Amino acid sequence: MSTHSTGRAAGSIVPWFGAVLVLQLAHAFAAASALDAPHSLQLVHDVAGWGSGVLAVAGTFAAARSFVPGDYLRKVWGGLAAGAFLSLVSTALRSYWLHAVPDVPFTQSPLLPLRMGVVVLANVCTTYALILLAMTYRQSGLQPPSSFRSNALWAGTAIAALAVGLPVLATEVRHLGADSAATMSAVISLASTLADMTTILLVAPILSVAYMLRGGRLAWVWWAMGVSGAMWLFYDARGWLAPLLPGDAAQSAELLRTLRTSGLVLLGLAGWLQRTALAPRQAPAAGPEVQTHAGMS
């Protein structure tokens, strides 16, 4: 791919990533404006959850439909689409309870067991799909060569996954068996944490392939997936990152919680870019000189 075409491709993709940034900033600004009003803050997260969830479902389903049944990547995007859809169902359950019974915490809702099952299944689908995605380079023969940079990236993501996940796992395991509500909440947290640890760990091979494919149309799919995983890293680390930030730790945690928007929207964007990358390119129209020459030959 020439430098000119590479620059043109990069220019065409910038508005999409810019739109993700705008959505992220909008969620963060709205959350910051509602930090002193707990119910309003819940509504902000609710609206953002619906918006980002719908975009994630739309993008991943679009990517899955781009492949024929039985195709390896159809399994990948089908799993991601299923995970995104189930995540949206989880959002719908919480949203319903928030609006129907706003004064009662969701942990006391009879919908909690249903949400537990939905969240566990969503994380299983997403983790399975991401493992398949990280193995795509082996299926296609595009195995990135081992280097100091790639090994350092692997080590860094492994350390990050352990640093983010182990404290949460240790805390939630102690909640198992306390009572039914605490146990179900712990199962939800454990499933989400284990899946997110896997996602963080898989950032290394995903970004390695993205770097190797730099300049290609598929590179942006991998970059979007990799950055999405990085957003989940900071989202999951909000428990210990928040006290390190200036200001109130609880409010900082709520602001870091808005990174869920970027994580989901980037997943949807990756799916849409996958679909776009498979679309046939239109041949450039012949100029007047070419047409005249062709007519005279």
Contacts of 139 (CB under 8 A, 6+ apart): 72
pLDDT digits (tens, 9 = 90+) for 248-293: 899 999 999 999 999 999 999 999 998 988 776 554 444 444 443 4
User: Would you state the pLDDT for residue 172?
Assistant: 83
Amino acid at 141: G
Amino acid at 102: P
Q: For the residues of 248-296, what is the DSSP string, one character each?
A: -HHHHHHHHHTHHHHHHHHHHHHHHHHHHHHSPPPPPPPPHHHHHHHHH
Q: Answer yes or no: is 100 within a domain.
A: yes
Q: Answer yes or no: is 297 within a domain.
A: no
Given a contact cutoff of 8 angstroms between Cβ atoms, the answer to whether 182 and 175 are in contact is yes
Q: Answer yes or no: is 208 within a domain.
A: yes
Q: Answer yes or no: is 7 within a domain.
A: no
User: Would you state the pLDDT for residue 80?
Assistant: 94
Q: Answer yes or no: is 283 within a domain.
A: no
Could you tell me if residue 177 is left (phi over 0), alpha (psi between -120 and 50 degrees) or otherwise beta?
left
Contacts of 21 (CB under 8 A, 6+ apart): none
Q: Answer yes or no: is 289 within a domain.
A: no
Q: Answer yes or no: is 130 within a domain.
A: yes
User: Would you state the pLDDT for residue 292?
Assistant: 36
Structure tokens at 157: 């993501």
> Which domain covers residue 79, as residue numbers?
15-277
User: Would you state the pLDDT for residue 252?
Assistant: 92
Q: How is residue 104 annotated by DSSP?
A: S
Tell me whether residue 144 is exposed, middle or buried, using C-beta atoms within 10 angstroms of its C-beta: 0 to 12, 13 to 18, 19 or more.
Answer: middle
- Check: pTM over 0.75? Answer yes or no: yes
Q: Answer yes or no: is 6 within a domain.
A: no
Q: What is the 3-state secondary structure (H, E, C) of 112-164?
A: HHHHHHHHHHHHHHHHHHHHHHHCHHHHHCCCCCCCHHHHHHHHHHHHHHHHH
Q: Give the chain's residues under pLDDT 70.
A: 1-11, 136-146, 150, 204, 206-217, 280-297
How many domains is the chain built from?
1
Structure tokens at 202: 């898989």
